[in-house]
């Protein structure tokens, strides 16, 4: 069997952050390449936190039983399945007998009958070969040859018993320092002052995906404005012209902070009415980031925290400074 030697490059060394995830997966991969099957796994975490990227980076690391070649792999969009019949016909039947690694992305969208049927395959009874009987057909799952990775942003929508039978691997939110490192390893066409880098990183909402997008936008701005170095003044002008706000706050989130700062506290319906939005849009689309940043709290009613008031003051001050330094209000 193929083993990773001590001198070999560590698995996932190209990724910044997620140390716990990388260490755990590396252990599973080493075991698999020594004949110990990888467990079926569930990747949990917010959008843009690297679940898909790390899953896809795992594919070439798992060897076939002969130790000489890599396995096949298959990325499955779970939203395409309407029922278990379609799932077995399109995802499982064509891969019978193959050495393969699956990624079932957004697995909370799998129909309930699919999730129920998979319970047999992942029953933790110590056996690697499982059989699933479905409408007269028997499908064989061999965990020594087939690895299952599920990924979701909404585990609450999964069948609880299925979630319990998978190894839950949670992707942590990134620190501002880690986001700064991610920005620097991207193909930046400008030099960024260290103090400015820290502030830029905080606008990425702790998301590597947003950091990558921001690098593209900074490069575009640098090219059109003939900028070679991003100092504080250049960054503030960039923020003003592109309507970027401190902490990555968007306009709707800013309005929530302003309403709560003005009124003290609000019921969800009252807050939604003030924003001219539905309650579900406020609760599901606006509040999560503010809660994560501890800018607001929900205790029967919604109210702004001291940290939220401080952030609001900083954001408004920077916007006012932008108007003063760079002209008319950004549109």
Residue ranges covered by each domain of the chain = 19-170, 176-244, 251-311
pLDDT at 100 over 70: yes
Query: Residue 88's pLDDT band (boundaries 50, 70, 90)?
Result: very high
Give the predicted TM-score (pTM) of the model.
0.83
> 304 is written with which tokens?
């702004």
Distances (CA, A) of 24 to 27, 153, 169, 171, 241: 5, 20, 9, 12, 43
Running DSSP on this structure, what letter comes out for residue 127?
A: -
Question: Using H for helix, E for strand and C for coil, what is the string for 203-215?
Answer: CCCCCHHHHHHHH
> 83 is written with which tokens?
């029922």
Mean pLDDT of the chain: 91
pLDDT digits (tens, 9 = 90+) for 146-174: 999 999 999 999 999 999 999 999 999 89
Architecture per CATH, domain 19-170, reads as 3-Layer(aba) Sandwich (3.40)
The contacts of residue 127 (CB under 8 Å, 6+ apart) are: none
Rounded Cα–Cα distance for residues 67 and 82 (Å): 37
**Fold for the domain defined by 176-244:** Helicase, Ruva Protein; domain 3 (1.10.8)
pLDDT at 138 over 90: yes
Specify the CATH number of the domain 251-311. Answer: 1.10.10.10
The backbone torsions φ and ψ at residue 189, rounded to the nearest 5 degrees and listed phi first, read: -95, 5
pLDDT digits (tens, 9 = 90+) for 260-272: 999 989 999 999 9
Rounded Cα–Cα distance for residues 187 and 54 (Å): 20
Rounded Cα–Cα distance for residues 330 and 315 (Å): 14
Running DSSP on this structure, what letter comes out for residue 48?
A: T
176-244 and 19-170 share a CATH fold: no
């Amino acid at each position: 069997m193929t083993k990773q030697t001590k001198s070999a490059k560590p698995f996932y060394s190209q990724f910044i952050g997620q140390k716990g995830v990388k260490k755990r997966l590396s252990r599973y991969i080493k075991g698999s390449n020594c004949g110990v099957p990888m467990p079926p796994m569930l990747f949990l975490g917010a959008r843009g936190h690297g679940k898909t990227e790390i899953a896809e980076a795992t594919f070439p690391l798992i060897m076939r039983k002969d130790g000489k070649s890599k396995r096949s792999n298959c990325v499955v969009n779970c939203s395409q399945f309407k029922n278990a019949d379609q799932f077995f016909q399109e995802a499982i039947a064509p891969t019978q007998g193959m050495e393969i690694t699956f990624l079932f992305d957004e697995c909370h969208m799998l129909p309930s009958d699919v999730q129920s049927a998979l319970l047999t395959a992942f029953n933790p009874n110590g056996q690697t070969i499982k059989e699933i009987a479905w409408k007269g057909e028997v499908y064989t799952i061999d965990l020594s040859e087939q690895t299952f990775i599920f990924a979701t942003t909404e585990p609450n929508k999964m069948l609880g018993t299925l979630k319990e039978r998978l190894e839950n691997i949670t992707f942590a939110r990134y620190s501002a320092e880690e986001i700064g490192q991610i920005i620097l390893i991207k193909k930046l066409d400008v030099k960024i002052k260290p103090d400015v880098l820290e502030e830029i990183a905080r606008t990425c909402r702790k998301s590597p995906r947003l950091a990558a997008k921001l690098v593209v936008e900074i490069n575009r701005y640098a090219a059109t404005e003939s900028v070679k170095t991003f100092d504080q003044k250049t960054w503030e002008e960039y923020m003003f012209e592109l309507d970027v706000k401190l902490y990555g706050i968007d306009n709707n989130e800013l309005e929530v902070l302003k309403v709560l700062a003005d009124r003290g506290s609000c019921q969800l319906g009252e807050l939604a009415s003030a924003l001219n939005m539905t309650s579900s849009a406020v609760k599901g689309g606006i509040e999560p980031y503010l809660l994560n940043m501890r800018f607001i709290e929900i205790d029967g009613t919604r109210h702004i925290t001291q940290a939220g008031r401080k952030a609001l003051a900083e954001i408004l001050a920077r916007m006012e400074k932008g108007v003063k330094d760079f002209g008319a209000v950004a549109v």
